[in-house]
């Protein structure tokens, strides 16, 4: 499984990469903002995207909206400090499949990744 | 400053430090800051805009900051590391983001973080609001949250006066 991590913080990308490794996912590409992600996503063709919200150049919400114009199915999880209910609704409406608020425990992120993949796989199989 | 804007920072730093670093935080009594220099040598800085404006500075002694980012990243890290500022920035990002979620009914955006390292530096404030310092103690050392915020309405009124 190919995973794209989008976060302007290398520290946060490393933390998430470590959780993914514990789940057995080691094929991971990184992007430092939405613009960088858009330049990589076409060639990389990820099976799962983890995207931060607040980033320079292009924020995560703009990335999600842009990406969803051409790709309706790749599972996306927003991993962000934006915890307000209105923000969560905005992100879901834009096209993310799940939402994780920072700070998070490795167990919580693992759980959200597993449930998102399971939900998206069963939706595609239906 | 309305206490409703201070309590969320206390809850947020305790949540961030315990969740990400398994590091309990003891909070002492907040006080008004009377010195323009930051409390300690390392500052993680976030700007707030929208219905509430101002800045948040997470201030650490250098050795405390090094211990805390080492816990966050899971490997020893000194202030000379190229990733040190990124890690400090992510901590102040999480603390500020968690706090602003508790500003009831207010729509607030946070900036990308900046980090300054060096003794005696000052963070210029764009607003007239007083700075409240929240002293915190951890097993890694002392940390201070410096909060200088006011509602956007109050900022406009202060500028007009």
Segment B119-137 mean pLDDT: 86
**Number of structural domains in chain A:** 1
Tokens representing B106 are: 């207010």
Average pLDDT of the segment spanning A93-101: 97
Return all residues near A68 (Cβ < 8 A) that are at least 6 apart: A94, A95
Residue in A12, A84, A103 closest to B19 by CB:
A103
Note whether A8 contacts B101, CB cutoff 8 Å.
no
Give me the mean pLDDT over the A72-99 stretch.
96
As a whole-number percent, the residues of chain A with pLDDT over 90 amount to: 92
Structural domain of residue B66, as residue ranges?
Answer: 3-160
Number of domains in chain B: 1
Tell me: ipTM over 0.85.
Answer: yes
Q: Sorting pLDDT into bands at 50, 70 and 90, what band is B12?
A: very high
Residue A96, classed as helix, strand or coil, is: coil
Q: What is the mean pLDDT of residues A46-75?
A: 97
pLDDT digits (tens, 9 = 90+) for B132-151: 999 999 999 999 999 999 88
CATH number for the domain harbouring residue B51: 3.40.1550.10
Which residue do the tokens 């992600």 mark?
Answer: A37
- pLDDT at position B48: 94
* Domain range enclosing A49: 2-125
For the domain that residue A84 is a member of, what is the CATH number? 3.40.50.2300
Q: Mean pLDDT over all residues of chain A?
A: 95
Could B98 and A82 be called an inter-chain contact, meaning their C-beta atoms sit closer than 8 Å? Answer: no
Contact of B19 with chain A, judged by CB distance below 8 Å, is answered with yes
d(CA A59, CA A73): 20
Which residue of B73, B74, B101 is in closest CB contact with A83?
B101
> Does residue B161 carry a pLDDT above 70?
no
Of B87, B100, B101, the CB nearest to A11: B87
Q: Which of B4, B3, B1 is nearest to B106 (CA)?
A: B4
């Amino acid at each position: 499984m190919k995973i794209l991590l989008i976060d302007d913080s290398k520290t946060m990308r490393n933390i998430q990469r470590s959780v993914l490794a514990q789940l057995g996912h080691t094929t991971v590409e990184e992007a430092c903002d939405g613009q960088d992600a858009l330049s990589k996503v076409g060639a990389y063709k990820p099976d799962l995207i983890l995207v931060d919200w607040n980033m320079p150049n292009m924020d995560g919400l703009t990335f999600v909206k842009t990406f969803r114009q051409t790709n309706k199915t790749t599972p996306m999880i927003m991993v962000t400090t934006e915890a307000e209910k209105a923000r969560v609704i905005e992100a879901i409406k834009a096209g993310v499949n799940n939402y994780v608020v920072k700070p998070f425990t490795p167990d919580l992120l693992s759980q959200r990744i597993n449930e998102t993949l399971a939900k998206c796989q069963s939706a595609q199989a239906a | 400053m309305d206490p409703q804007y201070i309590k969320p920072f206390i809850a947020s730093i305790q949540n961030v430090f315990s969740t990400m670093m398994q590091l309990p935080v003891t909070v002492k009594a907040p006080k008004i800051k009377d010195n323009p220099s930051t409390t300690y040598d390392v500052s993680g800085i976030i700007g707030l805009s929208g219905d509430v404006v101002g800045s948040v500075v997470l201030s650490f002694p250098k050795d405390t900051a090094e211990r805390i980012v080492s816990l966050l990243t899971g490997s020893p890290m000194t202030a000379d590391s190229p990733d040190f500022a990124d890690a400090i920035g992510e901590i102040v990002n999480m603390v500020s983001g968690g706090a602003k979620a508790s500003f009831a009914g207010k729509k607030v955006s946070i900036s990308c973080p900046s980090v300054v390292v060096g003794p005696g530096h000052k963070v210029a404030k764009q607003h007239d609001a007083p700075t409240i310092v929240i002293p915190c103690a951890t097993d890694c050392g002392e940390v201070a949250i410096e909060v200088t915020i006011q509602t956007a309405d109050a900022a406009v009124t202060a500028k007009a006066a």
